[in-house]
Amino acid sequence: MRKVHTADSTIEVAHLRNVLEAEGIACFVRNERLAGVIGEIPFIECWPELWVAESGQELRARGLIEQALRPRPVGDPWVCPGCGEHMDAQFSECWRCAGDVEPAEQGP
């Protein structure tokens, strides 16, 4: 077992656990319920930790975590080719007709 990530956010650690499990990496969270003892012990020791069950998976897990935490570039607003709805850049699918942004219209 190897620790691959720790953060002050339980939500972040839970999301990363889901990312790893979706890729077939068995993992678990430690310190998930220690927030109540902050002040009694150092706060960093109370942060939730993500651990990989198999020791040979930690490098792959760290790569997936890095990729999941990397900010995604946002392109330009686009117009749905299916229905003409104007969409903000962070959306890749039209809310009205489920049409995808065409690669030529997508920003860098």
Backbone angles phi, psi at 91, to 5 degrees: -95, 135
> Is residue 107 very low, low, confident or very high in pLDDT (cuts 50, 70, 90)?
very low
pTM of the prediction?
A: 0.63
List pLDDT tens digits, range 10-41. 899 999 999 999 999 999 998 876 666 566 77
DSSP line for 49-92: EEEESSGGGHHHHHHHHHHHHSPPP----EE-TTT--EE-TT-S
Domains and their CATH numbers in the chain: 2-69 (3.30.70), 74-108 (no CATH)
